[in-house]
Structure 1
């Protein structure tokens, strides 16, 4: 996997407006990014009624489907990362190499949740990689 895809997923995560965890995702088809997404809150009106969250995986897949067909999506890969907030502790750091440690100062564990996993499976993506 090319580092640029991970970097692009990190840049997407930086757009997140959530305070807890910033996730970013990219959909890659034939070596090019065709969809980007990040987790966010959406609000239907000014009074914050009907507020809901969108996960990065769902956002990236939906954006990819605006550019490629469902058949092409099934030949695509999804890359998901979690951008850590400043000061976040990293567990098991002693098992990492020096270069991995540098990356992990910025990236945390980001396995898709049950609903996102089902969404990925329903859309038939070829592979899903996560930090």
Structure 2
């Protein structure tokens, strides 16, 4: 946190950094490379894009992906929620991705906690997908 000169507020230590949380999530979830995600899509997996609208508009999206902004994931994934998205089914294979893999690792761990047994994430995110020259469509 940046402070102005003379700011006397005590700085509180962070118990867990975002980097630590992502590392722990990656250790708990299935991490897939772009080739593995492409194979999952061919087998009928649901691919969930967690990025925000401006990110999709700027970079495009993976064809066939379902857009669920990270802030809405738990509500869209919960079958009892009025915001539930029918594409998200705890019994189906669900693969998540974000821009680089941090948010999707955290989100995959969250879905596991919610009872999703067949969840994974695209390690390296959309950036890894695009770097390999895999299909991208404009939004």
Is the radius of gyration larger for structure 1 or structure 2? 2
TM-score range normalised by the length of the shorter chain: under 0.3
* Greater relative CO, 1 or 2 (CA 8 Å, sep 6+): 2
Q: Which has the higher helix share?
A: 2
Q: TM-score scaled by structure 2? A: 0.23
Q: TM-score scaled by structure 1? A: 0.24
Q: Which has the higher strand share?
A: 1
